[in-house]
Every structure is written in structure tokens, then in C-alpha cells.
Amino acid sequence: MSPSRIPCWFVPLILSVTILASTAAYGGHHHLSVSYYDKSCPSAQSIVQAVMASRVAADQAIAPAVLRLFFHDCFVNGCDASVLLDDATPFVESEKDAKPNDSLRGFDVIDEIKSHLEHSCPATVSCADILALASRDAVALLGGPTWNVQLGRKDSRGADRDAAENDLPSPHENVTSLITKFAEYGLDARDMAALSGAHTVGTARCLHYKDRVYGNDGEGGADMDPSFAELRRRTCQAGDDAAVPFDEQTPMRFDNAYYKDLVARRGLLTSDQALYGCGGPLDHLVEMYSKDGKAFVKDFARAMVKMGSIPPPPGMPVEVRLKCSMVNY
């Protein structure tokens, strides 16, 4: 059986098994608070918002890039800004060098925000909190929801390239694997379905969707609209780096079009379409989000707060970095 295919009857079983794991895996950062910087750096949020607004106005693609940075950070040993560390840091194998991270961008935006914050509030605001705030603002700047960000994260003094290679959800994963990986970080199937909606903005390279559009017979699978498969095969003729938007209709608007595409069997990645087609709770969620944009953005905001509370492993050395790409000495 192909790793991207599982029998649909198996999904409810996986959901029932992993729901316990998702409620027990992580208790979150007990010290996080919306008002964490109210006294120590009251201008923190306005500084982040100003830089993000300026950068997104110049290049809208910065918004999904920063949002992706936050996802890739939190899914490797928690939300600790480890994804920002360079190889130049002694004894650190940078997560930037892991294959799933080879197309990450937006690091310069985080560095710019950090520079402004160090000028206003030296050694106070962590890079992990900058990522959390910038991600919220990225979504809002594309017309999506906003939410209160819990603050007080600390930055790790190390990175984990191996975990970045193995722990991040792959674009080729089936629904069983996706549910299991999200549950490992305390995120349930509803969180997974809502967070996947981040793919309503941004792009993907042919390298990551060609398995879906070609399939085993070169024509795409039964769960893919044939005309969409043909369209994307033509894109792939330009090579593995050929990028297309997840959502053709509103590629830079944070809306519920992603779910409409899934219902129409026009999900770009295998891991996108895996959310729809087996019946049961996940199908119901996708259908609900496709019809009710307000329900989607409400669940997305709630799931972002939940994901943003994933802590580093117990005992990991942490600090507030003075420069996001390197540890303090």
C-alpha cells in the first residue's frame, strides 16, 4: 500500500487513539501571558506590527513566509526560535540546513524586528515571541483574523537538525501520519484541519506536489480533479522549483478558499487532500470551513494560540537572544 494511501475505515480508529495523546503530550508554557511585556517593553507589539506592515506592503509573499517560519519552529522541539540559528553558532547544527527548511525565507524580517526591539528594549523580547507576534500580524495583513498572543517564550541555546529532518509534517504524508504528528505536540484533528488552512496563502514547488499530480500512472490519482492535475503537470515541465499558489483564486488573501479546493479535489499537496475524502469528522470539518469562513478563522486563531504554547523540552537551556541567528556568549 502506498504510504500516501490508507483505508478510510482506519481514520476513525486513529482519531480515537490519538485524542488521548493530544490532550496529554504538552501542557504548554505555564508562564505565558498576553501582558508579559506591558511594563518591560510596552512598545513591543507596535514595533512588530510596524515592521511587518512595511515589509508586507513591499512584498506580500513575506506574510506566508513568516507564518511558515513559525510552524517550522514550533514543530521542532517547541516554539523556541531554534529555526533562526545559523551554523556559525558553535556546536549548533542549524535547522536551516534540513531539507524541509531549504526554502524557508523571512529571516531578515525577524532580524529587522529584533534590531528595532533591541534599540527600544534591550535584552528583553525573545526571538520566539517575535516569531509568534509576526505570524499573527502576517495573517491579519492578508485579511485574516487577529488574536491575543500569549508571550514570555524564551529562545533555545541549541538547534536540532535531525528533528527538523524527521519531525516536520511532510507534503507527502497521509492522514494517519498527519494526525499522529500533530497529536505528538498536543494538537488534535480539529487543530490540524484548521492550521492546515494556512495553505490558503503562499506557494509550493513542483518538488513537493509532483507525486500527487503524476500519481502511479502519470495522470494523478482518483482523488484529484483531472483538469487540475493536467494544469499542474504543465507547470512541472519547468522543473522541480516551479512554484504555484496553493489557492489560484485568492493566493494572497487569507480566506477559506483552501477548503473549497479540497472539496473540489483541487488540493495541491498530498497532505492537503488527505484531509478530505474519507468521510467522518475531518470531512465534516473541511465542508464546514468551505461554507463558513467565520468558523474557519475562529478555529484557526484558537489553534494558533494552542500551537504557540508548545514549550521546549524540559531541561533545554534557554535565554533571550540578543541576535536571533546566534546564541549569547
191 labeled binding residue: no
E strand or H helix at 114, and its extent? Answer: helix 107-120
The CATH architecture that domain 175-304 belongs to is Orthogonal Bundle (1.10)
Mean pLDDT (the chain) is 90
pTM of the predicted model as reported, rounded to 2 decimal places: 0.90
Highest CATH level, class, for 43-168+309-319: mainly alpha
Instruction: Provide DSSP, 68-88.
Output: HHHHHHHTTTSSSSGGG--TT
Active site residues: 72
Domain ranges of the chain: 43-168+309-319, 175-304
Task: Categorize the per-residue pLDDT at 30 as very low, low, confident or very high, splitting at 50, 70 and 90.
Answer: low
Please give the pLDDT value at position 24: 38
Q: What is the DSSP letter of 160?
A: -
User: Per-residue pLDDT averaged across 85-106, rounded?
Assistant: 89
Query: Is residue 306 predicted with pLDDT exceeding 80?
Result: yes
Please give the pLDDT value at position 121: 98
Query: Is residue 19 predicted with pLDDT exceeding 50?
Result: no
Contact indicator for 278, 306 with CB cutoff of 8 Å: no
Q: What percent of the chain has pLDDT over 90?
A: 84
The angle, 0 to 180 degrees and rounded to 10, between the axes of the packed helices 44-58 and 127-141 is 50
* pLDDT tens by residue, 266-287: 999 999 999 999 888 999 999 9
78 labeled binding residue: yes
Query: Is residue 4 predicted with pLDDT exceeding 50?
Result: no
80 labeled binding residue: yes
Please give the pLDDT value at position 279: 85
Please give the pLDDT value at position 15: 52
180 labeled binding residue: no
* pLDDT tens by residue, 206-261: 999 999 999 766 666 778 999 999 999 999 999 999 999 999 999 999 999 999 99
